Protein backbone atom coordinates (compact mmCIF):
# COMPACT_ATOMS: atom_id res chain seq x y z
CA UNK A 1 0.00 0.00 0.00
CA UNK A 2 1.38 3.43 -0.92
CA UNK A 3 2.27 6.03 1.67
CA UNK A 4 -0.53 8.27 0.37
CA UNK A 5 -3.15 5.58 0.94
CA UNK A 6 -1.84 4.90 4.43
CA UNK A 7 -1.95 8.62 5.23
CA UNK A 8 -5.53 8.94 3.92
CA UNK A 9 -6.61 5.94 6.01
CA UNK A 10 -4.95 7.35 9.13
CA UNK A 11 -6.57 10.74 8.67
CA UNK A 12 -9.95 9.10 7.96
CA UNK A 13 -9.74 7.10 11.19
CA UNK A 14 -8.95 10.26 13.17
CA UNK A 15 -11.87 12.11 11.57
CA UNK A 16 -14.26 9.22 12.35
CA UNK A 17 -13.25 9.36 16.02
CA UNK A 18 -13.65 13.14 16.13
CA UNK A 19 -17.02 12.86 14.37
CA UNK A 20 -18.36 10.60 17.11
CA UNK A 21 -17.03 12.93 19.80
CA UNK A 22 -18.50 16.06 18.22
CA UNK A 23 -21.87 14.47 17.42
CA UNK A 24 -22.39 13.69 21.10
CA UNK A 25 -23.33 17.35 21.75
CA UNK A 26 -25.90 19.45 19.83
CA UNK A 27 -23.60 22.47 19.66
CA UNK A 28 -20.89 20.53 17.78
CA UNK A 29 -23.08 18.05 15.91
CA UNK A 30 -22.82 19.82 12.54
CA UNK A 31 -19.02 19.81 12.82
CA UNK A 32 -19.17 16.10 13.63
CA UNK A 33 -21.26 15.33 10.55
CA UNK A 34 -18.83 17.28 8.35
CA UNK A 35 -15.84 15.48 9.86
CA UNK A 36 -17.48 12.13 9.20
CA UNK A 37 -18.24 13.07 5.60
CA UNK A 38 -14.69 14.23 4.91
CA UNK A 39 -13.32 11.11 6.58
CA UNK A 40 -15.49 8.86 4.43
CA UNK A 41 -14.49 10.73 1.26
CA UNK A 42 -10.80 10.26 2.09
CA UNK A 43 -11.40 6.58 2.82
CA UNK A 44 -13.15 6.04 -0.53
CA UNK A 45 -10.53 7.93 -2.52
CA UNK A 46 -7.73 6.10 -0.71
CA UNK A 47 -9.32 2.75 -1.53
CA UNK A 48 -9.89 3.63 -5.18
CA UNK A 49 -6.26 4.58 -5.82
CA UNK A 50 -4.99 1.27 -4.51
CA UNK A 51 -3.50 -1.03 -7.14
CA UNK A 52 -5.91 -3.92 -6.52
CA UNK A 53 -9.00 -2.22 -8.03
CA UNK A 54 -10.07 -4.49 -10.91
CA UNK A 55 -12.41 -2.32 -12.96
CA UNK A 56 -13.31 1.35 -12.42
CA UNK A 57 -16.22 1.08 -14.86
CA UNK A 58 -18.38 -0.91 -12.43
CA UNK A 59 -17.41 1.42 -9.60
CA UNK A 60 -18.59 4.41 -11.65
CA UNK A 61 -21.87 2.67 -12.51
CA UNK A 62 -22.47 1.83 -8.85
CA UNK A 63 -21.65 5.42 -7.88
CA UNK A 64 -24.16 6.85 -10.34
CA UNK A 65 -26.92 4.38 -9.41
CA UNK A 66 -26.34 4.92 -5.70
CA UNK A 67 -26.37 8.69 -6.11
CA UNK A 68 -29.56 8.57 -8.16
CA UNK A 69 -31.24 6.72 -5.29
CA UNK A 70 -29.55 8.33 -2.30
CA UNK A 71 -29.76 12.03 -3.17
CA UNK A 72 -33.58 12.08 -3.64
CA UNK A 73 -33.97 10.01 -0.48
CA UNK A 74 -31.96 12.56 1.50
CA UNK A 75 -33.75 15.64 0.16
CA UNK A 76 -37.30 14.35 -0.23
CA UNK A 77 -37.56 12.23 2.92
CA UNK A 78 -39.91 13.90 5.44
CA UNK A 79 -38.74 14.20 9.03
CA UNK A 80 -41.32 11.63 10.14
CA UNK A 81 -39.69 9.04 7.87
CA UNK A 82 -36.08 9.53 9.04
CA UNK A 83 -36.27 6.45 11.31
CA UNK A 84 -37.42 4.32 8.35
CA UNK A 85 -34.66 5.72 6.18
CA UNK A 86 -32.13 4.95 8.91
CA UNK A 87 -33.36 1.36 9.07
CA UNK A 88 -32.97 1.10 5.28
CA UNK A 89 -29.42 2.45 5.54
CA UNK A 90 -28.58 -0.25 8.05
CA UNK A 91 -30.15 -2.85 5.77
CA UNK A 92 -28.19 -1.79 2.68
CA UNK A 93 -24.89 -1.42 4.57
CA UNK A 94 -25.26 -4.84 6.16
CA UNK A 95 -26.23 -6.42 2.83
CA UNK A 96 -23.13 -4.92 1.20
CA UNK A 97 -20.91 -6.45 3.88
CA UNK A 98 -22.65 -9.82 3.62
CA UNK A 99 -22.40 -9.91 -0.18
CA UNK A 100 -18.70 -9.05 -0.07
CA UNK A 101 -18.22 -11.88 2.41
CA UNK A 102 -20.10 -14.24 0.12
CA UNK A 103 -17.98 -13.21 -2.87
CA UNK A 104 -14.77 -13.65 -0.89
CA UNK A 105 -15.83 -17.11 0.21
CA UNK A 106 -16.51 -18.37 -3.31
CA UNK A 107 -13.43 -16.64 -4.75
CA UNK A 108 -10.81 -17.75 -2.23
CA UNK A 109 -12.36 -20.25 0.22
CA UNK A 110 -10.22 -18.83 3.04
CA UNK A 111 -9.07 -20.85 6.06
CA UNK A 112 -8.45 -20.30 9.74
CA UNK A 113 -8.89 -16.86 11.29
CA UNK A 114 -9.88 -15.19 8.02
CA UNK A 115 -12.64 -17.76 7.51
CA UNK A 116 -13.88 -17.11 11.04
CA UNK A 117 -14.04 -13.37 10.35
CA UNK A 118 -15.86 -14.03 7.09
CA UNK A 119 -18.44 -16.23 8.84
CA UNK A 120 -19.07 -13.55 11.47
CA UNK A 121 -19.31 -10.90 8.76
CA UNK A 122 -21.91 -12.77 6.72
CA UNK A 123 -23.92 -13.95 9.74
CA UNK A 124 -24.27 -10.45 11.18
CA UNK A 125 -24.68 -8.90 7.73
CA UNK A 126 -27.52 -11.11 6.55
CA UNK A 127 -29.47 -11.11 9.83
CA UNK A 128 -29.08 -7.32 10.07
CA UNK A 129 -30.30 -6.96 6.49
CA UNK A 130 -33.60 -8.77 7.01
CA UNK A 131 -33.96 -7.46 10.57
CA UNK A 132 -33.60 -3.88 9.35
CA UNK A 133 -36.16 -4.50 6.61
CA UNK A 134 -38.59 -5.72 9.27
CA UNK A 135 -37.87 -2.62 11.36
CA UNK A 136 -38.51 -0.48 8.28
CA UNK A 137 -41.81 -2.30 7.70
CA UNK A 138 -42.95 -1.68 11.27
CA UNK A 139 -41.92 1.97 11.26
CA UNK A 140 -43.61 2.52 7.90
CA UNK A 141 -46.63 0.56 9.21
CA UNK A 142 -46.43 -1.86 6.29
CA UNK A 143 -46.19 -4.47 9.03
CA UNK A 144 -48.16 -4.30 12.30
CA UNK A 145 -46.36 -2.11 14.84
CA UNK A 146 -47.54 -4.40 17.63
CA UNK A 147 -45.46 -7.50 18.47
CA UNK A 148 -46.17 -10.47 16.19
CA UNK A 149 -45.95 -13.42 18.55
CA UNK A 150 -46.39 -17.16 18.23
CA UNK A 151 -46.03 -20.17 20.48
CA UNK A 152 -42.47 -21.02 21.58
CA UNK A 153 -41.08 -18.16 19.54
CA UNK A 154 -38.02 -17.63 21.75
CA UNK A 155 -37.11 -21.31 21.69
CA UNK A 156 -37.51 -21.40 17.91
CA UNK A 157 -35.45 -18.24 17.44
CA UNK A 158 -32.62 -19.40 19.69
CA UNK A 159 -32.59 -22.82 18.02
CA UNK A 160 -32.42 -21.16 14.62
CA UNK A 161 -29.54 -18.93 15.68
CA UNK A 162 -27.77 -21.90 17.28
CA UNK A 163 -28.06 -23.87 14.04
CA UNK A 164 -26.64 -20.94 12.04
CA UNK A 165 -23.77 -20.51 14.50
CA UNK A 166 -23.03 -24.27 14.42
CA UNK A 167 -22.91 -24.22 10.62
CA UNK A 168 -20.60 -21.22 10.82
CA UNK A 169 -18.20 -23.11 13.08
CA UNK A 170 -18.39 -26.09 10.71
CA UNK A 171 -17.49 -23.81 7.80
CA UNK A 172 -14.43 -22.58 9.68
CA UNK A 173 -13.33 -26.20 10.22
CA UNK A 174 -14.29 -27.50 6.76
CA UNK A 175 -14.44 -24.46 4.44
CA UNK A 176 -14.39 -26.70 1.34
CA UNK A 177 -17.88 -27.98 2.16
CA UNK A 178 -19.53 -25.33 -0.01
CA UNK A 179 -23.02 -26.82 0.33
CA UNK A 180 -23.16 -25.52 3.92
CA UNK A 181 -22.78 -21.86 2.97
CA UNK A 182 -26.21 -21.38 1.30
CA UNK A 183 -27.90 -23.13 4.23
CA UNK A 184 -25.95 -20.94 6.66
CA UNK A 185 -27.00 -17.84 4.70
CA UNK A 186 -30.66 -18.85 4.64
CA UNK A 187 -30.73 -19.44 8.41
CA UNK A 188 -29.15 -16.03 9.04
CA UNK A 189 -31.70 -14.29 6.80
CA UNK A 190 -34.61 -16.08 8.46
CA UNK A 191 -33.31 -15.36 11.95
CA UNK A 192 -33.20 -11.64 11.16
CA UNK A 193 -36.90 -11.71 10.27
CA UNK A 194 -37.96 -13.71 13.32
CA UNK A 195 -35.79 -11.63 15.65
CA UNK A 196 -37.55 -8.33 14.89
CA UNK A 197 -41.21 -9.16 14.24
CA UNK A 198 -41.95 -10.00 17.92
CA UNK A 199 -40.67 -6.56 18.96
CA UNK A 200 -43.23 -3.77 19.32
CA UNK A 201 -43.08 -0.19 18.09
CA UNK A 202 -42.24 1.11 21.58
CA UNK A 203 -38.83 -0.52 21.34
CA UNK A 204 -37.90 0.68 17.85
CA UNK A 205 -35.40 3.32 19.10
CA UNK A 206 -33.43 0.59 20.87
CA UNK A 207 -33.79 -1.82 17.94
CA UNK A 208 -32.45 0.77 15.47
CA UNK A 209 -29.41 1.41 17.69
CA UNK A 210 -28.82 -2.34 18.08
CA UNK A 211 -29.08 -3.00 14.34
CA UNK A 212 -26.62 -0.17 13.78
CA UNK A 213 -24.26 -1.97 16.13
CA UNK A 214 -24.66 -5.27 14.23
CA UNK A 215 -23.97 -3.54 10.90
CA UNK A 216 -20.83 -1.95 12.33
CA UNK A 217 -19.55 -5.24 13.73
CA UNK A 218 -20.20 -6.88 10.36
CA UNK A 219 -18.09 -4.18 8.70
CA UNK A 220 -15.30 -4.68 11.26
CA UNK A 221 -15.28 -8.42 10.58
CA UNK A 222 -15.17 -7.65 6.85
CA UNK A 223 -12.06 -5.58 7.51
CA UNK A 224 -10.35 -8.63 8.97
CA UNK A 225 -11.58 -10.82 6.11
CA UNK A 226 -10.22 -8.57 3.34
CA UNK A 227 -7.29 -7.11 5.30
CA UNK A 228 -8.51 -3.50 5.41
CA UNK A 229 -7.46 -1.78 8.63
CA UNK A 230 -9.68 1.27 8.14
CA UNK A 231 -12.75 -0.95 7.86
CA UNK A 232 -11.79 -2.57 11.14
CA UNK A 233 -11.51 0.81 12.85
CA UNK A 234 -14.67 2.29 11.32
CA UNK A 235 -16.70 -0.87 11.96
CA UNK A 236 -15.50 -1.11 15.55
CA UNK A 237 -16.44 2.53 16.17
CA UNK A 238 -19.86 2.02 14.62
CA UNK A 239 -20.48 -1.24 16.44
CA UNK A 240 -19.36 -0.05 19.86
CA UNK A 241 -21.18 3.31 19.65
CA UNK A 242 -24.37 1.57 18.53
CA UNK A 243 -24.10 -0.89 21.40
CA UNK A 244 -23.49 1.87 23.96
CA UNK A 245 -26.47 3.79 22.57
CA UNK A 246 -28.60 0.65 22.93
CA UNK A 247 -27.60 0.43 26.59
CA UNK A 248 -28.56 4.09 27.07
CA UNK A 249 -31.93 3.43 25.43
CA UNK A 250 -32.59 0.39 27.62
CA UNK A 251 -31.73 2.34 30.76
CA UNK A 252 -34.04 5.14 29.62
CA UNK A 253 -36.89 2.62 29.48
CA UNK A 254 -35.78 0.61 32.54
CA UNK A 255 -35.58 -2.45 30.32
CA UNK A 256 -33.01 -5.16 29.70
CA UNK A 257 -31.74 -6.36 26.32
CA UNK A 258 -33.47 -9.70 26.85
CA UNK A 259 -36.75 -7.97 27.61
CA UNK A 260 -36.48 -5.81 24.50
CA UNK A 261 -35.55 -8.70 22.21
CA UNK A 262 -37.77 -11.39 23.70
CA UNK A 263 -40.42 -9.61 25.80
CA UNK A 264 -43.02 -8.81 23.08
CA UNK A 265 -43.53 -5.43 24.74
CA UNK A 266 -46.11 -3.08 23.27
CA UNK A 267 -49.30 -5.14 23.03
CA UNK A 268 -52.35 -3.08 23.88
CA UNK A 269 -53.27 -3.51 27.54
CA UNK A 270 -56.96 -3.73 28.35
CA UNK A 271 -58.03 -2.91 31.88
CA UNK A 272 -61.11 -1.76 33.72
CA UNK A 273 -59.64 1.69 34.05
CA UNK A 274 -59.26 1.96 30.31
CA UNK A 275 -62.69 0.69 29.42
CA UNK A 276 -64.35 3.31 31.65
CA UNK A 277 -65.08 6.73 30.17
CA UNK A 278 -62.87 8.85 32.40
CA UNK A 279 -63.43 12.63 32.33
CA UNK A 280 -60.73 14.95 31.05
CA UNK A 281 -60.46 18.73 30.98
CA UNK A 282 -59.95 20.39 27.63
CA UNK A 283 -59.11 23.93 26.62
CA UNK A 284 -59.35 26.15 23.56
CA UNK A 285 -56.42 27.96 21.91
CA UNK A 286 -57.63 31.19 23.55
CA UNK A 287 -57.50 29.68 27.04
CA UNK A 288 -54.12 28.07 26.41
CA UNK A 289 -52.71 31.35 25.10
CA UNK A 290 -53.77 33.19 28.27
CA UNK A 291 -51.95 30.61 30.43
CA UNK A 292 -48.78 30.88 28.34
CA UNK A 293 -48.92 34.67 28.27
CA UNK A 294 -48.90 34.87 32.08
CA UNK A 295 -46.14 32.27 32.51
CA UNK A 296 -42.53 32.96 33.41
CA UNK A 297 -41.14 29.47 32.70
CA UNK A 298 -42.60 27.14 30.05
CA UNK A 299 -41.13 23.70 29.39
CA UNK A 300 -42.00 22.11 26.05
CA UNK A 301 -41.92 18.30 25.70
CA UNK A 302 -41.77 17.27 22.03
CA UNK A 303 -42.77 13.79 20.87
CA UNK A 304 -43.45 11.80 17.75
CA UNK A 305 -46.78 13.57 17.22
CA UNK A 306 -44.84 16.79 16.59
CA UNK A 307 -42.93 15.05 13.81
CA UNK A 308 -46.08 13.52 12.32
CA UNK A 309 -47.74 16.94 12.13
CA UNK A 310 -44.50 18.51 10.79
CA UNK A 311 -45.13 21.27 13.28
CA UNK A 312 -41.53 22.05 14.29
CA UNK A 313 -41.51 25.39 12.47
CA UNK A 314 -44.78 26.48 14.09
CA UNK A 315 -43.23 25.51 17.41
CA UNK A 316 -40.31 27.80 16.58
CA UNK A 317 -42.82 30.63 15.97
CA UNK A 318 -44.37 29.97 19.37
CA UNK A 319 -40.90 29.94 20.95
CA UNK A 320 -40.05 33.30 19.34
CA UNK A 321 -43.38 34.83 20.38
CA UNK A 322 -43.00 33.78 24.02
CA UNK A 323 -39.32 34.69 24.20
CA UNK A 324 -40.03 38.23 22.97
CA UNK A 325 -42.44 38.57 25.88
CA UNK A 326 -39.75 37.60 28.38
CA UNK A 327 -40.95 34.02 28.92
CA UNK A 328 -38.18 31.48 29.58
CA UNK A 329 -38.89 28.59 27.19
CA UNK A 330 -36.98 25.33 27.53
CA UNK A 331 -37.27 22.01 25.69
CA UNK A 332 -37.15 18.69 27.54
CA UNK A 333 -35.77 15.75 25.51
CA UNK A 334 -36.40 12.20 26.65
CA UNK A 335 -33.84 9.66 25.32
CA UNK A 336 -36.52 7.55 23.65
CA UNK A 337 -38.86 10.31 22.46
CA UNK A 338 -39.73 9.74 18.82
CA UNK A 339 -38.87 6.63 16.84
CA UNK A 340 -35.10 6.74 16.80
CA UNK A 341 -32.32 8.00 19.09
CA UNK A 342 -31.93 11.76 18.75
CA UNK A 343 -35.12 12.12 16.67
CA UNK A 344 -36.37 15.12 18.63
CA UNK A 345 -32.96 16.83 18.62
CA UNK A 346 -32.84 16.60 14.83
CA UNK A 347 -36.44 17.80 14.51
CA UNK A 348 -35.87 20.88 16.65
CA UNK A 349 -32.52 21.61 15.00
CA UNK A 350 -34.31 21.67 11.63
CA UNK A 351 -36.45 24.51 12.99
CA UNK A 352 -33.25 26.24 14.24
CA UNK A 353 -34.31 26.22 17.87
CA UNK A 354 -31.20 27.24 19.87
CA UNK A 355 -29.13 24.31 21.11
CA UNK A 356 -28.77 25.81 24.58
CA UNK A 357 -32.54 25.56 25.05
CA UNK A 358 -32.53 21.77 24.60
CA UNK A 359 -32.12 19.83 27.84
CA UNK A 360 -31.78 16.12 28.46
CA UNK A 361 -34.09 14.42 30.97
CA UNK A 362 -31.55 14.42 33.82
CA UNK A 363 -30.91 18.16 33.39
CA UNK A 364 -34.51 19.34 33.08
CA UNK A 365 -36.51 17.15 35.48
CA UNK A 366 -35.70 19.26 38.53
CA UNK A 367 -37.04 22.36 36.74
CA UNK A 368 -40.60 21.12 36.24
CA UNK A 369 -41.53 22.02 39.83
CA UNK A 370 -40.78 25.69 39.07
CA UNK A 371 -42.49 25.69 35.64
CA UNK A 372 -45.72 27.65 35.30
CA UNK A 373 -46.70 25.48 32.34
CA UNK A 374 -45.54 22.31 30.65
CA UNK A 375 -46.59 21.95 27.01
CA UNK A 376 -46.55 18.33 25.80
CA UNK A 377 -46.75 17.89 22.02
CA UNK A 378 -47.29 14.33 20.88
CA UNK A 379 -45.31 12.63 23.65
CA UNK A 380 -47.11 9.88 25.55
CA UNK A 381 -45.37 7.07 27.44
CA UNK A 382 -42.37 9.23 28.41
CA UNK A 383 -44.66 11.51 30.44
CA UNK A 384 -46.86 8.85 32.08
CA UNK A 385 -46.78 9.07 35.92
CA UNK A 386 -47.76 5.39 36.07
CA UNK A 387 -44.07 4.66 35.52
CA UNK A 388 -43.50 6.05 39.03
CA UNK A 389 -46.73 5.17 40.82
CA UNK A 390 -48.27 1.98 39.41
CA UNK A 391 -46.31 -1.20 40.12
CA UNK A 392 -48.68 -3.19 37.91
CA UNK A 393 -47.94 -1.00 34.87
CA UNK A 394 -45.75 -2.50 32.13
CA UNK A 395 -43.70 0.71 32.13
CA UNK A 396 -43.22 0.83 35.93
CA UNK A 397 -39.69 1.94 36.75
CA UNK A 398 -39.07 3.64 33.40
CA UNK A 399 -37.49 7.09 33.91
CA UNK A 400 -39.94 9.73 32.70
CA UNK A 401 -40.12 13.49 32.31
CA UNK A 402 -41.74 14.89 35.47
CA UNK A 403 -44.26 17.08 33.63
CA UNK A 404 -46.95 16.36 36.23
CA UNK A 405 -45.00 18.51 38.69
CA UNK A 406 -45.54 21.70 36.67
CA UNK A 407 -48.23 24.11 37.84
CA UNK A 408 -50.30 23.55 34.68
CA UNK A 409 -49.88 20.83 32.07
CA UNK A 410 -51.20 21.24 28.52
CA UNK A 411 -51.17 18.33 26.09
CA UNK A 412 -51.64 18.79 22.33
CA UNK A 413 -53.03 15.52 21.01
CA UNK A 414 -55.48 14.42 18.34
CA UNK A 415 -57.36 12.05 20.65
CA UNK A 416 -57.06 9.80 23.66
CA UNK A 417 -55.38 6.84 21.96
CA UNK A 418 -52.60 5.13 23.96
CA UNK A 419 -48.91 5.36 23.10
CA UNK A 420 -46.56 2.63 21.90
CA UNK A 421 -46.77 0.85 25.26
CA UNK A 422 -50.51 0.37 24.71
CA UNK A 423 -51.61 1.87 28.03
CA UNK A 424 -53.51 4.94 29.17
CA UNK A 425 -51.52 7.96 30.29
CA UNK A 426 -52.54 8.91 33.83
CA UNK A 427 -51.30 12.45 33.17
CA UNK A 428 -54.31 13.18 30.97
CA UNK A 429 -56.79 12.69 33.83
CA UNK A 430 -55.10 14.93 36.42
CA UNK A 431 -56.88 18.08 37.60
CA UNK A 432 -53.99 20.28 36.49
CA UNK A 433 -53.95 18.87 32.95
CA UNK A 434 -55.69 20.52 29.99
CA UNK A 435 -56.11 18.52 26.78
CA UNK A 436 -55.65 20.62 23.64
CA UNK A 437 -57.30 18.40 21.06
CA UNK A 438 -56.34 18.84 17.44
CA UNK A 439 -53.55 18.68 14.89
CA UNK A 440 -50.32 19.95 16.45
CA UNK A 441 -49.42 22.22 13.53
CA UNK A 442 -52.87 23.84 13.40
CA UNK A 443 -53.13 24.20 17.18
CA UNK A 444 -49.68 25.79 17.50
CA UNK A 445 -50.57 28.20 14.69
CA UNK A 446 -53.75 29.18 16.53
CA UNK A 447 -51.78 29.61 19.76
CA UNK A 448 -49.42 32.07 18.08
CA UNK A 449 -52.41 34.04 16.69
CA UNK A 450 -54.16 34.13 20.06
CA UNK A 451 -50.98 35.27 21.82
CA UNK A 452 -50.76 38.14 19.37
CA UNK A 453 -54.39 39.00 20.12
CA UNK A 454 -53.83 38.93 23.89
CA UNK A 455 -51.36 41.86 23.72
CA UNK A 456 -53.13 43.67 20.88
Task: Count CB-CB contacts under 10 A for residue 179.
Answer: 7
Give Cβ neighbours of residue 387 (< 8 Å, ≥ 6 apart). 254, 381, 393, 395, 396, 397, 398, 399, 400
Out of 367, 381, 402, 404, the active site residue is: 381
To the query of whether residue 424 is one of the catalytic residues in this protein, the response is no
Catalytic residues: 381
Amino acid sequence: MSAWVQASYLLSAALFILALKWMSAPSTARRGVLAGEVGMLLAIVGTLVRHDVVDYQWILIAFLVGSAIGVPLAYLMPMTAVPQRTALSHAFGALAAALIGTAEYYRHTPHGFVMGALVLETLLGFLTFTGSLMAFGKLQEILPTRPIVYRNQNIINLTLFGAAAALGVALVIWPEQTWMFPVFTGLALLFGVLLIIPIGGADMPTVIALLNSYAGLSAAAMGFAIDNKLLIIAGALDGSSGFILSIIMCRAMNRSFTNVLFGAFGQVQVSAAQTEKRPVRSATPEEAAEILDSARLVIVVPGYGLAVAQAQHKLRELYDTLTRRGVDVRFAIHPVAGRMPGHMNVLLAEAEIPYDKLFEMEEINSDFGQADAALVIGANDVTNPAARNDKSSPIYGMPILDVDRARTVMVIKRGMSPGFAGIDNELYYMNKTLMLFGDAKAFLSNLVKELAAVRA
